[in-house]
Structure 1
Amino acid sequence: MQVEGRTILVAGGSSGLGAACVRRLAARGARVVIADVDPAGERLSAELGDRAVFSPTDVTDEASVAHAVGLAVDRFGGLSGAVACAGILGPEKLLAREGVPSGANFRRVIEVNLVGTFHVVRLAADAMRAQPPGDDGERGVIVTTSSIACEEGQAGQAAYAASKGGVASMTLPIARELARHGIRIVSVAPGVFETPMIAALPPEARRSLAEQVPFPSRLGEPDEFAALVEHVFENRMLNGSVIRLDGAMRM
């Protein structure tokens, strides 16, 4: 699927990896719905003009996601793609010094990263199946965001690793289900990228992470993630896969 002239929803599109996707897709001629709780999406939408629209969206709220999908259909006449980038880190040790945590953080991370992604996938897919198929029968493409932490999570990342593992694990069964509707789904599992989450770390921690990447020995750039997302849209044989994007990093 060529992105030019298509309407694509980007959940978590106000900053980081999502904002990079918004900019790249809009530059390639797509119309983009920026769905995010972060109001910075309003400024990004204004920057891109009539190619983009901002929809305040909490991915944990089914009605909120449905509103963003509905906006895509009402404003641009349909939905052909979705990119699910909304997520939180939520680091927390299983056994803290002051005792055992309540479990609220674990539930919150699962709710945002996994359940929120599922809301985006299923509601976007419902809109996509109403699209007329292309010459090859394709109606839509969905890209979700997992993480290399789904295989190599570190101490304190139980919630994050579990959530991203769920995103990766549901990719193939969803691909099999959506195949009859002409909809593809792929998950990208990035390594350590220059995002607001990483920017909040101390400089020495950022330097240490960059040094763990064999080549190129640096943090990933958000547009490199966006470039892969664009390729997934354009390459029809990419379906049901989880693609690592990590410079050979093994945490």
Structure 2
Amino acid sequence: MPVAIITGGARGIGRGIAGELAKGGWNLMLNGMRPANQVQEALTELADFNVSVQYCAGDIGVAADRERLIKTTVEKFGGIDALINNAGITSPGRKDLLEAEEDSFDRVMAVNLKGPFFLTQLAARQMISQAGNAVGFRGTIVFVSSVSGEFVSTNRGDYCLSKAGLGMATKLWAARLAEYGIDVFEVRPGVIRSDMTSGVQEKYDKLIAEGLTLQRRWGEVEDVGKAVRALVSGQIPYATGQVLRIDGGMTIRTM
């Protein structure tokens, strides 16, 4: 069975991705900040699809935790076929640009941009070694970003910058890894119903009803999960480096 690492994989969008990959027969290594006993329910539900599901707690903004995640995955499963860079945090306090603080900025960048960049470096090295030892090896790396990489929120400048940076990271890694048969994609969700958006449900209920999205409903975590499953399963070939927007038409400008 192929093996995927999903950061932030036990909740929200990451949980939706994990569910779809488990349905597709992928063994999973999930990562998150919570201790293992707090994610056991999710792990048990995923294992019901007759796949192996492991959990490695850690902060992807910390180098030692990234290294441990890759090492643990290889020890448990023997290799890595896909890395889903999903973990992220919102802007602490959602402060206006004129009030933004460096400590918060550094924390958001560490988790949302630096962490995925250097975790990809580690995973890519492992995939390259596998490609050298297995004919026909195919690796996939997915960066889960956000429409906030395009839309300005002046009370979440650090978050917007971090998500915009993932777009360039996708292109950089796609260019660097193409020779090894490793595809790299960006999945850019819009307004997705999850624990991260639970506090602004009323706001977006109104905006969606007024036409924020062409498809007048919330996006669901399963919508993102199905897109990622298609990418890692090779159902969208000859497209490395591209962006797949899962936003219900939110980014289409109309008159």
What TM-score does the superposition give when structure 2 sets the normalisation length? 0.88
C-alpha displacement of 1:58: 0.6
Conserved? CA contact 1:38–1:56, under 8 Å: yes
Cα distance change on mapping 1:51 and 1:214 into 2, 3 Å: same
C-alpha displacement of 1:145: 1.0
- Structure 1, unpaired ranges of 5+: none
Counterpart of 1:14, as a letter, is: A
C-alpha displacement of 1:42: 3.4
Cα distance change on mapping 1:192 and 1:8 into 2, 3 Å: same
User: Partner residue of 2:237?
Assistant: 236
Instruction: State the SS of the aligned residue for 2:150.
Output: helix
Which of 2, 13, 22 is 1:17 aligned to? Answer: 13
Instruction: State the SS of the aligned residue for 2:187.
Output: strand
C-alpha displacement of 1:66: 1.5
User: Partner residue of 2:125?
Assistant: 126
Give distance in 2, aligned partners of 1:204 and 1:132.
48
- Residue 165 (str. 1) matches residue 164 (str. 2): yes
Conserved? CA contact 2:18–2:46, under 8 Å: no
Conserved? CA contact 1:215–1:247, under 8 Å: yes
C-alpha displacement of 1:214: 3.0
Instruction: State the SS of the aligned residue for 2:129.
Output: coil
Give distance in 2, aligned partners of 1:170 and 1:185.
9
User: Partner residue of 1:54?
Assistant: 55
Counterpart of 1:247, as a letter, is: G
Instruction: State the SS of the aligned residue for 1:13.
Output: coil
Give distance in 2, aligned partners of 1:126 and 1:210.
42
User: Partner residue of 2:204?
Assistant: 206
Give distance in 2, aligned partners of 1:208 and 1:120.
38
Counterpart of 1:210, as a letter, is: I
User: Partner residue of 2:105?
Assistant: 106
User: Partner residue of 1:175?
Assistant: 174
Give distance in 2, aligned partners of 1:165 and 1:221.
22
User: Partner residue of 1:42?
Assistant: 40
C-alpha displacement of 1:47: 2.9
User: Partner residue of 1:86?
Assistant: 87
- Structure 2, unpaired ranges of 5+: none
C-alpha displacement of 1:130: 1.8
- Residue 26 (str. 1) matches residue 22 (str. 2): yes
User: Partner residue of 2:146?
Assistant: 147
Counterpart of 1:81, as a letter, is: A
Over aligned residues, Cα RMSD in angstroms? Answer: 1.9
C-alpha displacement of 1:46: 2.9
C-alpha displacement of 1:138: 4.2
C-alpha displacement of 1:132: 3.8
Counterpart of 1:186, as a letter, is: F
Counterpart of 1:93, as a letter, is: D
The runs of 4+ residues in structure 1 deviating greater than 6 Å are: none
Query: Per-residue displacement from partner, 1:62-111 (whole Å, max 9, x unpaired)?
Result: 1112211112211111111010110011122112xxxx343221111111
Give distance in 1, aligned partners of 2:207 and 2:105.
24
Counterpart of 2:143, as a letter, is: T
Counterpart of 2:95, as a letter, is: E
User: Partner residue of 2:73?
Assistant: 72
User: Partner residue of 1:216?
Assistant: 215
What TM-score does the superposition give when structure 1 sets the normalisation length? 0.89
Give distance in 1, aligned partners of 2:139 and 2:28.
14
Percent identity at matched positions? 29
C-alpha displacement of 1:157: 2.1
Cα distance change on mapping 1:204 and 1:132 into 2, 3 Å: closer
C-alpha displacement of 1:117: 1.2
Conserved? CA contact 1:20–1:223, under 8 Å: yes
Counterpart of 2:164, as a letter, is: G
Give distance in 2, aligned partners of 1:11 and 1:143.
11
